[in-house]
Chains A and B, each alone.
Chain A
Amino acid sequence: SQQGEEDPQALSIQEGENATMNCSYKTSINNLQWYRQNSGRGLVHLILIRSNEREKHSGRLRVTLDTSKKSSSLLITASRAADTASYFCATDDHVGKPLVFGKGTRLSVIA
């Protein structure tokens, strides 16, 4: 069964605005990752945060992790039209098994 649930399901913003997506999960995790999927393409890894980290930055991306609430957020600052994509969180919670993905947030950035 799926572990992560992203919220909102869809988000539409203007270019230059910030976009925030949330992910909630059910069981304890080792790591949480965020992936991007452009329409019709495979997923691309964006950023990974370990369970003992609370915040991580990569360029215009900022990820937070709250293990007490079993939730994570992905913030994209100063969004661009090229950021239009679906964003998925994925958790690593089972020894020897692949990542478990959520259903994703569809982000539309309007120029």
Chain B
Amino acid sequence: NAGVTQTPKFQVLKTGQSMTLQCAQDMNHEYMSWYRQDPGMGLRLIHYSVGAGITDQGEVPNGYNVSRSTTEDFPLRLLSAAPSQTSVYFCASSYSMGSGAPYEQYFGPGTRLTVT
């Protein structure tokens, strides 16, 4: 199994440009999430999905869109990039979520995004 994969690994955008960060998992996990990590801020949840066709907002959703057309893929779209979106983005998946039953999240290697 490849686990959780993310592309690209690095990206530089100019302010106002749009792009899509790709995330895929081959573990048949229903639940997928996007986090951003900034120095001193830990991980903050952007959007998440509990299954194909179902998405919801996290703590910092503004400026980002997601969709979940298949179980495997969960792309994150930046609509109009801003310098405040410079960050490292992590995608994660799990077989369960917040039902009380224990679960662990599997993380991708991250995408390092710089917006100039």
Q: Are A and B co-members of a single complex? A: yes
CA A1 to CA B42, docked complex, whole Å: 11
Range class of the B interface residue count = 20 to 34
Given A2-B42, A48-B104, verify A96-B99 contact (CB < 8 Å).
yes
Among A64-72, A76-84, A101-109, the stretch in contact with B: A101-109
What secondary structure prevails in chain A residues at the interface with B?
Answer: loop
**Could you say which residues of chain A place their CB within 8 Å of the CB of B4?**
42
- A41 at interface, CB cutoff 8 A: yes
Given A95-B98, A98-B45, verify A43-B40 contact (CB < 8 Å).
no
B98 touching A44, Cβ below 8 Å: no
Given A1-B59, A102-B42, verify A41-B110 contact (CB < 8 Å).
yes
- A45 at interface, CB cutoff 8 A: yes
Nearest 10 CB-CB pairs, A to B?
Answer: A42-B107, A103-B42, A45-B104, A101-B43, A98-B33, A43-B107, A30-B100, A96-B98, A31-B102, A97-B98
